Structures are given as structure tokens and as C-alpha cells.
Amino acid sequence: MDQYATMIAELLGLAQAPNLYDWLGMSGIFIFVFLTVFNFFSPNKDSDNKESLDAKAGESLEEVVKETLKEELKPEVQTEVKTEEKTEAKEKKTSWADRLLKGLSQTRTEVWGKVGSILGGGNLSDDQFEEIEEILYTADLSPAVVAELLDELKTFSKSGEKKSDEYALFIKEFLKSKMDSIQKTVNTDLYQFDKNKKELKVIMIVGVNGAGKTTTIGKLATKLKSQGAKVVVGACDTFRAAAVEQLEVWCNRAEVDIVKAKEGADPSGVAFDTVKKAVDENADYCIIDTAGRLHTASNLMDELAKTKKVMSKVLDTAPHETLLVVDAITGQNALRQAEEFNKTLDLTGLIFTKCDGSSKAGSAVGIVKQLEVPIAYIGVGESVDDIDIFDLDLYLNALLGIA
Ligand SMILES: Nc1nc2c(ncn2[C@@H]2O[C@H](COP(=O)(O)OP(=O)(O)OP(=O)(O)O)[C@@H](O)[C@H]2O)c(=O)[nH]1
Ligand SMILES: [Mg+2]
């Protein structure tokens, strides 16, 4: 042992064999050098991340990279990323939801807001239920629907104290149950152009004066064209020259073809020519505008029936859809109109317009239930984006203020 100590002493240039303190010092130096060398060759942070990436192999690459980056970002940068993501998602998802929410704001505040504040107040008296009944009538729900809803609300309120948002959900489920099965019968071809389905769809649009037929056709033609469909529009409102001009402005803007005739021409003839052009040119959609008329004017209703029949002479399945445009402002009176149009034309759907600026948007429930005809589209303004598919959940949430 002594000879090793003497060797080390010589190597280190020490005058004598190392004592205990020399050993301790040397061990310290050795440990320091070892740790430095070990740390240099050891796996670094990148490979740690690689391992965690491998572990997340089941997730999408994009998500994993995002998560990994986020973990490494400073807290303030993370907050920015989150806010940006939220804004992007909101813009994509809720632009129509926002329009609808805004459009239905009058009905929501004037009807459901008031009902909700009474219901949320706890123990309800008969007087309060009478007040609720009166408010519900202003939404133009049908009397039968109001009576049934009141009964259900009374039973629900007896089962213990509830908050107003619990009542809102209860009312939503009630209204949904009245419309859901009918809404499921909407033909989805109306919503979304499928380029693989090379089949012409002829859509006839009818309604009373000023309901919003021409504007709706303009919006729909724009929507379908932007999906890549070839659209031909027929100006069968030959009653007024201005009606053709109005439709022409929409068609030019949407860059779709229009078939028109002179003022006073037979609307059936224009309908015939339009469907023929659509067939000959392999169009995807053919939309027929008609002159507004009162449902009580039997000669004008007969004229509509004739226009409808003529289309089937060109294409025996046409028109595939006969849609009644209903102005929400009309409220319960719209039910009478809808019944008459349905009798003459066998409607396949409704388009609910002008839901903005009216507190009677609730009339949709009664009309759908009574007529057993679904709502295909809902309009909440005059601009081209103010129309979309009638989504029952979205509609009821917007109506009742459910987030
Ligand atoms: N606020 C609002 N206005 C609308 C909506 N839809 C249509 N309008 C307006 O209602 C008015 C009548 O619309 P039209 O499209 O001409 O109605 P129409 O049914 O074709 O009328 P006639 O051809 O005269 O029977 C126009 O001023 C439209 O801009 C809507 O959803 N909301
Ligand atoms: Mg018109």
C-alpha cells in the first residue's frame, strides 16, 4: 500500500505520501471531473421531449407539437396563444349563431326573459302563472301549445325550487318535443349541394305579399352558387316589372342565370321555360319566384297550382320542393296563411323570415306542429348572410338565451 502512496506522491510531485486531507481533496477533484464528463455525454432535454412525443404517438402530430410548444412557452405567451385559439374558433363557429342570437333578441327579451324572471323567483302563485300565460301569448305560440306548456310548468315547479336557467332548459325540451320529429323530415339537399348527385332540384317559392320571397331566393342562389352549384332562377312574378328587376339584381350579384318575360306574361310559361333551361343545361338547382298573393284570393291560388303543375310537364318530379315563406311578424295569422297554401300546393317546407325585429318568432313552434311541415331555413335580416339552415337546437337556445 505504502509503495502505491509513494508512486502517487511522485506522480503528483508531492514531497511525501498523501495524508487524509490530500485524499479528500483528490476525491473531490475526481468527483467534479466525473460529473462534468457524465453530464456532457448524458441524453439532453431534446431527447426527453422526443420520448414524450413518442409516448403521445396516438395523438395527432399537430396537437402534440402544439402541446409541447405550449409547455415550453412562458406563461404570458401561453395566455396569448389561448386567446388567439379561442377567437379563431369563435369566428369560425359562431358567426351565424351570433346573427341568430341578435335576430331573436326581441323575442328573447320581451317574452322568454320576462317568463324566466317570474319562474326563477321561487314559490309561484296562480296570479304569476296567469302573468306567464299572457306573456306566452305575445310570443304567438298557439293557444294549445301555451295551455300544455303552462300545465307542464306547474307540475315542474311543484317538484322543488328551481333556478331560471333550469326552467329555460325545461321549456326548451318541451318546445323541442313539439317540433323535433317534424324537423327531421327536412330534405338535406336543400341545404348542401352534393356535386356527386347529378340531379336537378326544382324549388318553388310561394308566400303572401312582401313576406321576403325574392330576397330569400337571392340569398339562397348566392349560397348554392358559392357551394359550386349551377343555379337557374325563374322570374315568375310577372305582375310587376320592378319584381323582375329586383330578382335580376340578386342574380347578377350571385352570377346565376335568370329566365324572365315581359310584365303581364303568363307566369306558368316562365316556369316552363325556366325548368326547361335548367334541364337542358344540366343545372343543379332551379328556383322559381312567384308573385305574392293573399291566401284568401282563390283565383290567385289557382294560378299558383297551375304554375306548379306546368313544371311537371317538363320534368315529372318537379317541383321537388314547394316552400312557403313566412314572415315572423305575422305571428299566429301566419298559421292561417300556411294552412291555405298547404291545401293548394302541398308544401314540403317553410322558410321563416324577418325573425329580427319581431317578438313573435315563437309562432314557428305552433305552425310546424299544426301543419306538420318543417322549417328549412330561417332569415334574420336583409343581407346575403342573414339566412341559414333552421337548426332546432340553435334556434331554441337563441330564443331562450341558453348558452
Ligand atoms: N328585416 C328583414 N327584412 C327582410 C328579411 N327578408 C326580407 N326582408 C325585406 O322585406 C322586404 C320585402 O322582401 P321581398 O323579398 O321583396 O318580399 P317578396 O315576398 O318577394 O314580396 P312580393 O314579391 O312583393 O310579394 C324587403 O325590403 C326585404 O329587404 C329578413 O329576414 N329580415
Ligand atoms: Mg318578390
Among the bound ligands, the one closest to the CA of 352: 1
Distance CA 386, CA 118 (A): 32
**Whether residue 143 has its Cβ less than 6 Å from ligand 1:** no
Consecutive H or E run containing 204 = strand 201-206
The one-character DSSP state at 148 is H
Separation of alpha carbons 354 and 220, rounded Å: 15
Closest approach atom of ligand 1 to CA 357: 1
The grid cell for 76 is 404570458
Among 6-20, 99-113, 223-237, the least confident range:
6-20
| 337 alpha carbon – ligand 2 mean position (Å) | 17
Q: What is the mean pLDDT of residues 200-229?
A: 95
Per-residue confidence at 269, pLDDT binned at 50, 70, 90? Answer: very high
What is the distance in A from the centroid of ligand 1 to the CA of 209?
9
What number of other Cβ atoms are within 10 A of residue 334's Cβ? 26
- The residue type of 344 is T
Statement: residue 91 has pLDDT above 50: no
- Residue 248 Cα to ligand 2 midpoint, Å, equals 11
Structure confidence at residue 123 (pLDDT): 78
Mean of pLDDT values over 91-97: 63
285-to-87, 198, 217, 223, 254 alpha-carbon distances in Å: 36, 10, 11, 11, 14
CA atoms of 113 and 96, how far apart (whole Å) = 22
C-alpha cell at 129: 302563472
CA distances 9 to 12, 18, 207, 394, Å, are: 5, 6, 111, 89
Compute the distance from residue 282 Cα to the ligand 2 centre, in Å: 26
Q: Which of 249, 382, 386 to mutate to test the pocket of ligand 1 (most atoms within 8 A of CB)?
A: 382
| DSSP letter for each residue of 319-339 | -SEEEEEEEGGGTTHHHHHHH
DSSP string spanning 281-314? Answer: TT-SEEEEE-----TT-HHHHHHHHHHHHHHHHH
User: How far is it, in rounded angstroms, from Cα 163 to Cα 168?
Assistant: 9
Q: In what order do the strands lie in the sheet with 201-206?
A: 257-259, 231-235, 285-289, 201-206, 321-327, 349-353, 375-379, 387-389
User: Among the listed ranges 8-17, 172-181, 258-267, 370-379, which one has the minimum average pLDDT value?
Assistant: 8-17
Residue whose CA is at the smallest distance from ligand 1 atom 13: 212
Ligand 1 and 242: CB distance under 6 A: no
72 has a pLDDT exceeding 80:
no
Centre of ligand 1 to C-alpha 215, Å, is: 6
Q: Please tell me whether residue 207 adopts helix, strand or coil conformation.
A: coil
Residue 67 in this model has a pLDDT that exceeds 50:
no
Number of H helices and number of E strands within the chain? Answer: 17, 8
pLDDT tops 60 at residue 55: no
Report CA(212)–ligand 2 centroid distance (Å): 7
For the CA of 380, the closest atom of ligand 1 is: 31
User: What average pLDDT does the chain have?
Assistant: 81
Judged against a pLDDT cut of 50, whether residue 47 lies above it is answered with no
292 Cβ below 6 A of ligand 1? yes
pLDDT tens digits for range 119-146: 887 778 889 999 999 988 887 788 888 9
Alpha helices in 104-203 (DSSP H): 105-107, 114-119, 126-138, 143-158, 164-183
Most confidently predicted of 38-42, 97-101, 155-159, 244-248: 244-248
Distance of CA 101 to the CA centre of its chain: 11
What distance in Å separates the CA atoms of residue 92 and residue 96, rounded to the nearest whole number?
Answer: 9
* 395: its cell numbers: 334556434
Residue having the nearest C-alpha atom to atom 10 of ligand 1: 212
Q: Which of 96, 106, 215, 360 to mutate to test the pocket of ligand 1 (most atoms within 8 A of CB)?
A: 215
Q: 358: Cβ below 6 Å to ligand 1? A: no
- On the question of pLDDT at 54 being above 90, the answer is no
Higher-pLDDT residue of 80 and 15 is 15
Q: Which atom of ligand 1 is nearest to the CA of 208?
A: 25
pLDDT band at 4 (very low <50, low <70, confident <90, very high): low
Q: Shortest CA distance to 351 belongs to which of 171, 343, 341, 96?
A: 341
Query: How large is the greatest C-alpha to C-alpha distance in the chain, in angstroms?
Result: 130
Contact predicate 291/238, CB 8 Å: yes
What is the CA(140)–ligand 2 centre distance, in A?
Answer: 26
Beta-bridge mates of residue 323: 205, 349
Q: How far is the CA of 112 from the centre of ligand 2 (A)?
A: 33
34-44 pLDDT per residue, tens: 565 545 444 44
Span 301-317, mean pLDDT? Answer: 96
pLDDT value for 63? 42
> Does the pLDDT of residue 95 top 90, yes or no?
no
As a whole number of angstroms, the distance between CA 322 and CA 350 comes to 9
Atom of ligand 1 nearest to the CA of 210: 21
Beta bridge partners of 232: 257, 286
Percent of the chain topping pLDDT 70: 76
- Give the pLDDT score at 20: 62
Q: What is the pLDDT of residue 17?
A: 59
Q: Residue 209: CB within 6 Å of ligand 1? A: yes
In this model, does residue 60 exceed pLDDT 70?
A: no
Residue 321 CB less than 6 A away from ligand 1? no
Query: Residues 338, 350: contact at Cβ < 8 Å?
Result: yes
Q: Binning pLDDT at 50, 70 and 90, where does residue 5 land? A: low
Answer yes or no: is the C-beta of 103 below 6 A from any ligand 1 atom: no
Q: Which run of H or of E encompasses 352?
A: strand 349-353
Which grid cell is 194? 352534393
Give the residue with greater pLDDT, 393 vs 29: 393
Q: How many A from CA of 382 to the centre of ligand 2?
A: 13
Rounded to an integer, what distance in angstroms lies between the CA atom of residue 104 and that of residue 110?
10
Give the model's pLDDT for residue 62.
38
Determine the pLDDT at residue 211: 95
Looking at the CA of 215, name the nearest ligand.
Answer: 1
Using DSSP, state whether 220 is helix, strand or coil: helix
What band does 90 get if pLDDT is binned at 50, 70 and 90?
A: very low
